């Protein structure tokens, strides 16, 4: 299965799993709380940030709108669409994203708010050094299919996919 940009596996995530892991992230962040606010890294970090904000009763939410992936799932030039509107260095804030992959996006956000706590649900080896708190580590060659990227469809049995490959 060729998935582009060096990804050889898919890891589908359901809404229920994402919600459960978002709550688990909030549990881990409890010991670091209270926070002044949440910074959601858009677009993927918006749903996890909403879950964390609800669970920690945080009402102040800002976004940093940043894009690095191309359509073929490779990382391109980082494009800051909307910068942060945080008046300081991020101390007391928590940045929430769905995942850290190569760490490129995370490095850019960290430069904006170097003292903020960075939290993700999923983390890959190349980006681990950018994250303070995460829930699940996945291999670098795995493309995570978030619920908003999926729709119900027929799936061939694994044995049929294996036969087709070789």
CB-based contact 118:89 (threshold 8 Å): no
Quote the domain boundaries for residue 70.
Answer: 9-165
Burial class (CB in 10 A: 0-12, 13-18, 19+), 153: exposed
In a domain, 29, yes or no: yes
- The tens digit of pLDDT for each residue in 32-59 reads 999 999 999 999 999 999 999 999 999 9
Binding residues: 43-44, 97-105, 143-144
1 in any annotated domain: no
CATH number of the domain enclosing 37: 3.40.50.2020
For residue 70, what pLDDT is reported? 61
129 among known catalytic residues: no
Annotated binding site for GMP: 101-105, 143-144
- pTM for the structure as a whole: 0.85
Q: Is 101 a catalytic residue?
A: yes
**Taking the CA of residue 79 as centre, how many other CA atoms within 13 Å lie in the half-sphere pointing to its CB?**
8
Walking along the chain (166 residues) 10 residues at a time, the average pLDDT comes out as: 67 96 98 96 96 98 86 70 88 97 94 96 97 97 94 85 74
Tally of domains within the chain: 1
Catalytic residue among 62, 89, 101, 132: 101
């Amino acid at each position: 299965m060729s998935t582009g940009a060096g990804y050889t596996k898919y890891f589908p995530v359901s809404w229920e799993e994402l919600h459960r892991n978002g709550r688990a992230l909030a549990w881990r962040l409890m010991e670091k709380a209270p926070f002044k606010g949440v910074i959601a890294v858009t677009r993927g970090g918006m749903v996890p940030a909403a879950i964390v904000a609800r669970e920690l009763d945080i009402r102040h939410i800002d976004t940093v709108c940043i894009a690095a992936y191309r359509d073929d799932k490779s990382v391109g030039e980082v494009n800051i669409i909307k910068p942060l509107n945080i008046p300081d260095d991020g101390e007391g804030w928590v940045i929430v994203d769905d995942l850290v992959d190569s760490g490129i996006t995370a490095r850019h956000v960290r430069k904006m708010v170097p003292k903020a706590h960075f939290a993700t649900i999923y983390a890959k080896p190349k980006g681990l050094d950018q994250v303070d708190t995460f829930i699940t580590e996945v291999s670098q060659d795995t493309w995570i299919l978030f619920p908003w990227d999926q729709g119900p469809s027929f799936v061939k049995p694994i044995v049929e996919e294996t036969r087709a490959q070789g």
